[in-house]
Amino acid sequence: MWYSGKLQDKGDGGGSAALKERGEMDRAFQWKLEDIFADDAEWETTFNMVEGQLGELGKWQGRLSESAATLLACLQLRDAVEEVLTRLYVYAGLKNDQDTRASRYQAYRDRAGSLMVQYHEAGAFIQPEILAIPEEQLQQFLAGNGQLESYRHYLDNLLRSKAHVLPPEQERLLAMSGEIAQGPYHIFSMFNNADIKFPTITGEDGNKLEVTKGRYPRLMESDNRKVRKAAFQALYGTYGRWTNTLSATLSAAVKRDIFYARARNYSGALPAALAEENIPAQVYTNVVETINRNLTPLHRYMALRKRLLKVKQLQPWDLSAPLFSDVKFEMPYPEAVDTIRSAFHPLGETYLADLENSFRNGWIDVYENQGKRSGAYSWSAYGVHPYILLNYNNTLDDMFTTAHELGHAMHSFYTNQTQPYHYHDYTIFVAEVASTLNEALLMDYLLKQYQHDSQRKCYLLNEYIEQIRGIV
């Protein structure tokens, strides 16, 4: 609960030997999915409604060149169906991710995914038909209809990809393959979040501790090299026993990407992926080449790390070890929230007020629980506030992860407020600007706070280096 503007932390925070079940956790630190649908019954009702609307799309097939009004009506119907369908999918995905063992929400996720495939199948005719309209006629449509004009950028992007859009029946076949294409991801997700279990190790305090993906980063920052090694072997040793399964799953994903690239007449999976984001190949190759030309500072940093840790050879479990063991940054979630508030002050009063709303009103699912999806992300559906999944474990890195995901969430919040549905989304290439800015603001704030504390300042600078290494 909130008291006097501060969170009272009753979460797990990684303190117990075994993770808690979700029902044992403080709901003040859990997201409020009823902001999307009041309950599962409303989800079911909406699912049935959308399922019935899919047939309406087919009524426009063969008619898009008739007039600007006809084209506009089809695009608006498509967007209206997709907007509600996305809410169904996000609700199902968030419910599934909060406890991946729950068969009810595994089924919801699969049903929403199937409905999404049916939607793409029903609308497979739209892009080929638009591209069949003579460009001069399309420009006349745009000039004569103010509402259709709002789709100009969408249509420009579609024309840019004309060589890779297939005839309607072929587009329909590709859409039908969507559920099969999701297979590698869903197989890995179930394995990685619901099925896999890691052994217990002896922690720094001499007590037994269950290794989890949420606790792993904190264990790798232990001063005790034996603890770090035990945690590393517990995690990767477990994955290692499933090498063949994981390799086959990855191989299936790679073959899927190659198949779609070939089907759409791209020279390979990389050009296909870059084209989707409208990124020139030279940008990608320049990034890779620039990094490879500038590895010397990284090698010097690793040599310094080896010397400061006083080890004969750096091992994987040494790469996150603290170089300044006298400095401890214990960062409980309420304290992290206060720090983030202060760090984001340059972004202005409106941003801070909306940020406060995210903390107070169920946008964020904070702590790890049994069965919860690992990692962190921000996810949103148009017309509903964004959601953030964390597995917070009271570390400095967890605070930076929170700041990062808040960048994504606020980005989505503002695009949803200011853009029509067909422009509310953004590419991953753009997305990381907002999130990385938030991390930079937080680091700048902390460095100023500890400018007269040389040990903490060095600790933070090392954290900054690690953030850059992790991104690159």
Q: Which residues are catalytic?
A: 405
Q: Residue 344 CA to chain centroid, in angstroms?
A: 21
Q: Is the Cβ–Cβ distance between 374 and 213 less than 8 Å?
A: yes
Paired strand residues for 387 = 379
Q: Is the Cβ–Cβ distance between 284 and 272 less than 8 Å?
A: no
Query: Which amino acid is located at 139 in the chain?
Result: Q
Residues belonging to the chain: 472
Pairing of strands 387-392, 364-367: parallel
For 142, residues 6+ apart whose C-beta sits below 8 A from its C-beta are 68, 148, 149, 151, 152, 155
d(CA 128, CA 377): 34
d(CA 452, CA 448): 8
Q: How many CA atoms lie within 13 A of 86 on its CB side?
A: 17
For 250, residues 6+ apart whose C-beta sits below 8 A from its C-beta are 184
What is the DSSP secondary-structure string of 86-100? HHHHHHHHHHHHH-T
d(CA 129, CA 156): 15
The closest of 152, 168, 458, 470 to 327, measured between CA atoms, is: 458
Q: Is the Cβ–Cβ distance between 63 and 75 less than 8 Å?
A: no
Torsion angle of the four alpha carbons 224, 226, 228, 232, in this order, in degrees rounded to the nearest 10: 180
Q: How far is CA 257 from CA 61, 114, 127, 271, 411, in A?
A: 29, 20, 21, 11, 29
Paired strand residues for 3 = 6
For 245, residues 6+ apart whose C-beta sits below 8 A from its C-beta are 191
Residue 14 phi, psi (nearest 5): 80, 15
